[in-house]
Amino acid sequence: MRIAVLSCFYPYRGGISQFNACIYDELGKCHDVKAFNFKRQYPEFLFPGKTQYVENDDTSERIDSDRILDTVNPFSYIRTARKIREWKPDLLIIRYWMSFFAPSLGYVARKLKKDGCRVIGILDNVVPHEKHFFDRPLTKYFLNGCNAYVTLCDAVARDLLSIKPDARYMTTPHPLYSHFGEKLPKTEAEDMLGISHGMKNILFFGLIREYKGLDILIRAFGKLDGTYQLIVAGEPYGSFEKYAKLIDESPAKERIHLYPQYIKDNEVNRYFSAADICVLPYRSATQSGISSVSYHFDLPMITTDVGGLKESIGDRGTGIVVESPDPDLIASAITGYFTSPENAIRMKGNILREKERLSWKTFCDRLLDFYKTI
C-alpha cells in the first residue's frame, strides 16, 4: 500500500513534527510511505517563537521528505497536489491543527480526493484555543476536502460534528512519545538543572501561551509552603513580561526555576526526571502531547477539566482533575497529592497500563482498519 503523509517533518521542530515522524516510521514498517513537507510553514513575521527549525545539536529524527508546500504561495499548492498525484498514493494523511493551514492543505486534499485517492485528516484541533472570526469557514474548507477524519479525543470529535455533522470519523487517543531517552535518577536530573535536592518538584513543561495558564500555576505555587519548588521549562510564544512580573511579586520566587527556551529532544528527560508531578493548568485544551511525554517518564499529572484532558488523564486514573483553572483548586490538588503517598503508587500503576495501550502500532493499525471502511 502506498501512503503519502502531508505535514511538517524535519527540519521543523515541535510536537507536530515529532508525531509525524512516529507515524512515518510505524507505517513504513509494512507499507510504502512518502513524506511531503512544507517548504515554508510560517512566514517568519507570523512565527512568535525563536525559530521554527531544529538546531544543529538537537537529536530530532531526520525524516527524508519532499519539501514543496509553501503556505503563502498558491502556486505551490498546485505543484504539491501534482507531485503527490504523480506518486499515486492509495491514501493521503494530512495533519490539521490550525486554520492558517486550511487554504494550502484544503486545496491539496480536494485535488487528491477528486482523483480518487482516499484522504484522511488527523485533527489535533478543529476549534482553536485562540479563536478568530475566520476559523470556522477556513476549517470547513479543509474538512470538505477529506473523506474521513481521525480525532485524538472526544472533545475534538464534538467540534468536528458541530461543523460537519455527517463526518465519518474515528477517535483514538494520542500515542506515547518514546524518543526522549530514559528516565534519570531524580538527584542526577536536579544536578543537571542546578536545583536543590530533597524538595517536592512541580513541572510546567511546553510552549508558554496564554491558554496554557502558567500565570494560574504561578499564583497557585505562591500558596504552597517552602518544601516545594517549581520548574518552568518551555519557549514563550509572545511576551514573557506578565509572567516575569508575577514571579517577581510571588512570595515563592526564590523557588521558581525558569528555563524559558525551546527544550531540545535530548534534554527533555532531565526535566521530567527531576519532577514529582506535572501540572497542566490550561484554560482550554483538546488533548495534550505533554501528557504523552509524562506517561513515558511515569509521571502523574494534575490538570484542569478542559477539552479531552479529563478523559485522557482523570478517567484513566493517571492524574488529578480539578474542575476549573483556579489557583486555589490547583494548590489544593498539589498538596493533596503529596499528603497521600498512595496516590502516586496508584497513578504510576495506571500509567504502566496506559503505556501498553497507547503504542504507535495500535494507533496505526486502527488508522488503517478505518481506512478500509471509507
**Phi, then psi, of 38 in degrees rounded to 5:** -80, 135
**What global pTM score does this model have?**
0.79
**Phi, then psi, of 3 in degrees rounded to 5:** -125, 120
Single out the residue of 32, 22, 29, 122 nearest to residue 360, CA to CA.
22
Would you state the cell numbers that stand for residue 49, as one nine-digit string? 517563537
> Domain spans of the chain?
2-175+359-371, 186-357
**Phi, then psi, of 360 in degrees rounded to 5:** -70, -30
Please tell me the CATH code under which domain 186-357 is placed.
3.40.50.2000
| H or E element, residue 322 | strand 319-322
Longest Cα–Cα distance of the chain, Å, equals 64
Pairwise CA distance, residues 278 & 203, whole Å? 5
Q: Which residues contact 302 (CB under 8 A, 6 or more apart)?
A: 277, 278, 279, 280, 281, 319, 320, 321, 322, 330, 333, 334, 337
Q: What is the pLDDT of residue 127?
A: 83
Alpha helices in the chain (DSSP H): 15-27, 74-87, 102-114, 135-143, 154-163, 186-193, 214-221, 241-249, 268-274, 289-296, 309, 327-339, 341-357, 360-371
Q: What is the pLDDT of residue 307?
A: 79
Pairwise CA distance, residues 82 & 20, whole Å? 22
Q: What is the pLDDT of residue 265?
A: 87
Classify residue 194 as left (phi > 0), alpha (psi -120 to 50) or beta: left
Pairwise CA distance, residues 356 & 343, whole Å? 21
Q: Is the dihedral of CA 56, 24, 101, 90 positive or negative?
A: positive
Arch. (CATH architecture) of 2-175+359-371: 3-Layer(aba) Sandwich (3.40)
Q: What is the pLDDT of residue 59?
A: 62
Residue numbers of the chain with a pLDDT score lower than 50 = none
Q: What is the pLDDT of residue 49?
A: 62
Pairwise CA distance, residues 225 & 251, whole Å? 10
Fold: same for 2-175+359-371 and 186-357 = yes
Residue carrying the nine cell digits 478543529: 126
Q: What is the pLDDT of residue 253?
A: 96
Chain segment 253-298, per-residue pLDDT in tens? 999 999 999 898 889 999 999 999 999 999 987 667 898 899 999 9
**Phi, then psi, of 31 in degrees rounded to 5:** -140, 165
End-to-end CA distance of the chain: 15
Single out the residue of 92, 82, 116, 96 nearest to residue 2, CA to CA.
92
Using CA atoms, how far residue 301 sits from 20, 212, 311, in Å, is: 25, 14, 13
Would you state the cell numbers that stand for residue 320, as one nine-digit string? 488529578
Single out the residue of 121, 158, 178, 156 nearest to residue 354, CA to CA.
178
**Which residues share a beta bridge with 32?**
2
